[in-house]
Amino acid sequence: MWRNRRIIFIKSAYILLDIICISLSFVLACWLRKTALPFPIAIHDLGLDYSNPFLIVFTSWLLAILFFNNISGLYQTRRELLESLEIWCVFKAVAYATVVAIVSIYLLKIEGFPRSILVLSVIFINISLSVWRVFKRMFVDFLVVRGYNNFNVLIVGAGKVGVALANEIKKRPGYGLKIVGFLDDFKPSADLQAGHKVVGKLSDFLKIARKEFINKVFITIHHDSKAFLSLLEQAKALHIAVRVVPQGFEFTTGEFSKYNIGFIPVLEYCDEEYSIKQAGKRFFDATMSLILFILLSPVFLIVALMIKLGSPGPVFYFSQRFGRRGKRFNMIKFRSMIYDADKKLDQLKDKNEVDGPIFKMKGDPRVTKLGQWLRKYSLDELPQLINVLKGDMSLVGPRPLPIDQIEREDLRQLRRLEVRPGITGLWQIRGRSDISFSRLVRWDVWYINNWSFWLDINILLQTIPVVVKGKGAY
């Protein structure tokens, strides 16, 4: 009973704070543009005076914001929701509510509502609703760290995932999660890191849950469906929240989303390519490659002329590569070898100086003198900006390898085909041609698992001094 009253009190307080912030935002927006309004600026005139011609707009707008905030879960304290995501939910709710306000203006044929007030109100509402939530989080974290309303937690499974989860929880004291220990049928506490302990087996759940007053259970193993169902039933009887870490999450490249097919809940392992982040990556790639292509066009012309005058053959070299999801494309490079270099590869295979399917050789006789210089400073890679513009490649990503070399290799490199290949990447800043194939694969997989926009920026910035020094390329 007390818990329900506390939830109602917190929700009411959050709604009241939102009403105050939204109302003050309306007042401030109208005060800054008071010459555009046919009534004096005061809270009474904005919200309660029936002579206000825009009363219905402000009222519907406020109610719509409260509605969308509510369905977004913003009137409850969700400690585990990232602060940035909570603010993003505020922005979305305000955007949806603003559409409602605009529609009400047109449907009710309300004339003279200033656009400037509409824009200023959106800005002030977003700022005020976000700022008070930031302070709310700081206050909640302050209380939780000092023991207020903490939750006792059991983690089912003391394997790598379970231990990693425990470490992540300990890094975030603001969540208020106190780890009592692990339940595991096979691992003793002696096998775990310091600070972690196994308090029992899965069959001991009921006894330990009652003894330790457990509030939440995290399940990190999925080897026995009967044991899972039994634990779920016992937790439900004790009103204990059960949370499940998705199976195989450590091998996915994207995020998860939940939806329903009828009444059946489905967890989708989302592909990053269709996420907002990857859409931003593609936009950044296209924009930057276009800018670089324009800026470097004089370099293109000079290099093309030097190649044409230096040795017989075409300026560009086209090599078939595997792109994202195995799609084939022609990767474009400035030609750095003699014209019939591919035909002479078989004669040199026994002189390969790297492991794996790729061929690298210092002092390769097929490389022209100009080609050596182009390779040293990676100028032969510049035409790949065209591949980026076409969408075959990215500025940063795993190195695209020749198809004939890839097809002879095992499945290790297939993980690299989950994303667009890149002009540069960890291979470029960590050693270029000097690194082994096995290490190249490990770095590429790490990049895929840990991708972020800032990681791309960091790699691009580190590529510049590496290329200027000309070290490790041949």
The domain spanning residue 199 has which CATH number? Answer: 3.40.50.720
Both 159 and 128 in a single domain? no
Domains identified in the chain, total number? 3
| Residues 167 and 234 occupy one common structural domain | yes
Among 222, 185, 225, 178, which residue's Cα sits nearest to residue 202? Answer: 185
Among the candidates 112, 129, 145, a domain finishes at: 145
Helix axes 83-107, 115-145, angle to 10 degrees: 150
Q: Are strands 256-261 and 264-269 parallel, antiparallel or unpaired?
A: antiparallel
For 298-421, where are the E strands, in sequence order?
316-322, 328-334, 394-396
Same domain as 241, residue 136: no
441 vs 393: CA distance, rounded Å? 18
Residue at 268 is within a domain: no
- Nearest-angstrom CA–CA distance, 216 and 230: 16
Helix axis angle for 83-107 and 55-71, nearest 10°, is 150
Q: What DSSP assignment string belongs to 364-400?
A: -TTB-HHHHHHHHTTGGGTTHHHHHHHTS-EEESSPP
Q: Determine the 3-state secondary structure of 280 from DSSP.
A: helix
- The residue among 98, 124, 145 that closes a domain is 145
pLDDT value of position 406: 59
C-alpha span between 76 and 85 (Å, rounded) = 14
151 DSSP β-pair partners = 177
Query: Which range marks the domain in which residue 461 is found?
Result: 276-469
Looking at residue 32, its pLDDT comes to 82
**108/196 same-domain check:** no
Under 8 Å between Cβ of 250 and 230 = no
- 259 inside domain: no
Domain limit, last residue, from 204, 222, 245? 245
Same domain, 333 and 357: yes
Shared-domain flag, residues 371 and 446 = yes
Predicted local confidence at residue 250, as pLDDT = 59
| Residue 336 forms part of a structural domain | yes
Closest by CA position to 267, among listed 239, 234, 243: 243
Is 141 found in the same domain as 216?
A: no
pLDDT of the chain, 474 residues: tens digit per residue? 555 677 788 889 899 999 999 988 988 888 787 776 666 665 555 544 556 677 788 888 999 999 999 988 888 877 666 777 788 889 999 999 999 888 888 887 777 788 888 889 999 999 999 999 988 888 877 877 777 778 889 998 888 888 888 888 888 887 888 888 899 888 776 667 667 888 888 888 889 988 888 989 998 887 667 778 888 888 888 888 888 887 766 555 556 667 677 777 777 665 544 455 666 788 889 989 999 999 889 999 999 999 888 888 889 988 888 888 778 899 999 988 887 766 666 666 666 555 555 666 666 778 888 888 888 888 888 999 999 999 899 999 888 877 765 554 445 556 677 788 899 888 777 655 556 666 777 778 788 877 878 888 888 888 888 887 766 555
Q: Which residues of 142-173 are buried (b: 16+ CB within 10 A; e: fewer)?
A: eebeeeeebbbbbbbbbeebbbebbeebeeee
Residue 138 and residue 123 share a domain: yes
331/452 same-domain check:
yes
pLDDT at 271: 52
Stated length of the chain: 474
Distance CA 382, CA 388 (A): 11
Q: pLDDT value at position 111? A: 77
